[in-house]
Amino acid sequence: MQTTRVLLLGTLLVAGLFIVAILLQHEHLVAGPSQRSRTAMASEVAGQRGRTSSKQSRAGTDNSARSPPPPTLCNTSTFIVHTELDGSVVKEGGSDGLAFASAAECCGACMRLRSCNVWVWNSASSGACWLKHTQDPRSPGRRGEGAGVPWTSGALLKAYRLPEAPLPVADRTLDTVAIHTSVGDIRLRLRPDWHAASVDSVRRLASPDLAAGACSSCEFYRVEFGFLLQGTLRGVLPPNDQTGCTPAPACQPGPRLMQRGDVGWAGGGAGPDFFIYLGATPASWLKRDHTVWAEVADEASLALAERIVNLPSHTPGGVGTMRFLKDRLEVDVVAVRAAPALSTSTAAGV
């Protein structure tokens, strides 16, 4: 009888140890990825501590080798709580903008918007969701972090410049491109005689050698009635870095006072931000300080530019400040080729 009890207890003990081993293995399989994600997030937060701007986050050594890259899809295990990531706003949140019941919905909105690669969701402000863009979503800056920060943030591996993207050869037979939008095309006649380097940079963006998404962050964003339609041609390629002042030893004036339909780089710089001048008279107050590289090709394109200027817009900075589209308009640069001429026999219907 005693021997039977010992054997029974031994059997039960072995069975119990076997069950515990199975449970431990199951727990490892379930919790392992989450634990690794939390460790990765903690490492990323530590690596980013003290960085408060996108410019700072891009300085120095590339952090992508030290932490996993952000996902291409929304995954709650990668959300960063009590952190507000930095970036340029591409769609506003709050009472006049986006608001969602969850961080996952905010992430989904970023995933659907081509130019967005950073999102921030505020649990304490009616679910305000701000969509942003940073040059390198693998290492975004942080505006704030800590237990008192009500933001949950995330980054998506999209809409950023690929440093390994080869620079295509500019097709110098291309003399017309279209700024393609969801509401129509604005055709531009390129003017290499005004500034060849700028024209070549635009030709490269329209190159068929580039994969889809080359103009991943190109958009119209600013409108001013009777003055301009402004956007950016920020894509996967390095932007133009020359103006009418470089590489010449001294600044060379623009080709003329800007006239209605002329296209140039904004702010007197080299891009990638550009604008279409829509004033009724030559822009004498701009002098000849801007690098101008194209002109709107036809009246239908000018009419479309005016139509875009009249889309819903606002002045977030108050009266007298810059006016921005409420919904930024994504664009692509597309080559426009002339239709082949008809032969004499075809034209005659032979």
| Digit-coded pLDDT (tens) for 21-67 | 444 333 332 232 233 233 333 333 233 223 223 333 333 333 333 34
pLDDT confidence tier of residue 71, bands split at 50, 70 and 90: low
Q: What is the pLDDT of residue 113?
A: 83
Q: Check whether residue 325 and residue 220 sit in a common domain.
A: yes
Which amino acid is located at 222 in the chain? R
Residue with the bigger pLDDT between 240 and 284: it is 284
Residue 55 included in any domain: no
Q: How far apart are CA 278 and CA 121, in angstroms?
A: 37
Same domain, 183 and 331: yes
Q: Note the helical H segments in 188-290.
A: 196-205
Indicate whether this model's pTM tops 0.85: no
Average pLDDT over residues 132-142: 88
Same domain, 215 and 329: yes
| 260 found inside a domain | yes
Q: 13 Cβ partners below 8 Å, 6+ apart? A: none
Give 3-state DSSP helix, strand, coil % of the chain, rounded to 5: 30, 25, 50
**pLDDT at position 331 over 50:** yes
Residue 162 lies in a domain: no
Q: What is the mean pLDDT of residues 139-161?
A: 88
Is the per-residue pLDDT at 320 higher than 90?
no
Residue 134's domain spans which residues? 68-155
Residue 149 sits in the same domain as residue 220: no
User: Which whole number is the average pLDDT over 135-163?
Assistant: 85
More confident of the two residues 317 and 177:
177
Q: Are residues 207 and 145 in the same domain?
A: no
pLDDT tens-digit map of 78-131: 899 999 999 989 899 987 889 999 999 999 999 888 778 899 999 888 899 999
Confidence of residue 319 (pLDDT cuts 50, 70, 90): confident
Total residues found in the chain within this entry:
350
Dist. CA 345–CA 350, nearest whole Å: 5
pLDDT at 128: 94
- pLDDT tens across 265-313, in order? 998 888 889 999 999 999 999 888 888 999 999 999 999 999 999 999 9
Q: Quick check: is 107 in a domain? A: yes
User: Based on the domain organization, do 315 and 199 belong to the same domain?
Assistant: yes
**What CATH number is attached to the domain comprising 83?**
3.50.4.10
pLDDT at 15: 54
- Of 100, 126, 155, which closes a domain? 155
Rounded to whole angstroms, how far apart are CA atoms 2 and 254? 106
**What share of the chain has pLDDT > 90, as a percent?**
39
Quick one: 233 and 307 in the same domain?
A: yes
> Which residue has better confidence, 184 or 288?
184
Whole-angstrom Cα distance, residue 234 to residue 102? Answer: 30
Q: How many domains does the chain have?
A: 2
Does the structure show a pLDDT above 70 at 166?
no
Q: Which one-letter DSSP state was computed for residue 288? A: T
User: Do 130 and 185 have their domain in common?
Assistant: no
One domain, residues 189 and 315 = yes
With 80 as the cut, is the pLDDT of residue 195 above it? yes
Question: Measuring CA to CA, which residue among 204, 220, 211, 205 is closest to residue 274?
Answer: 220
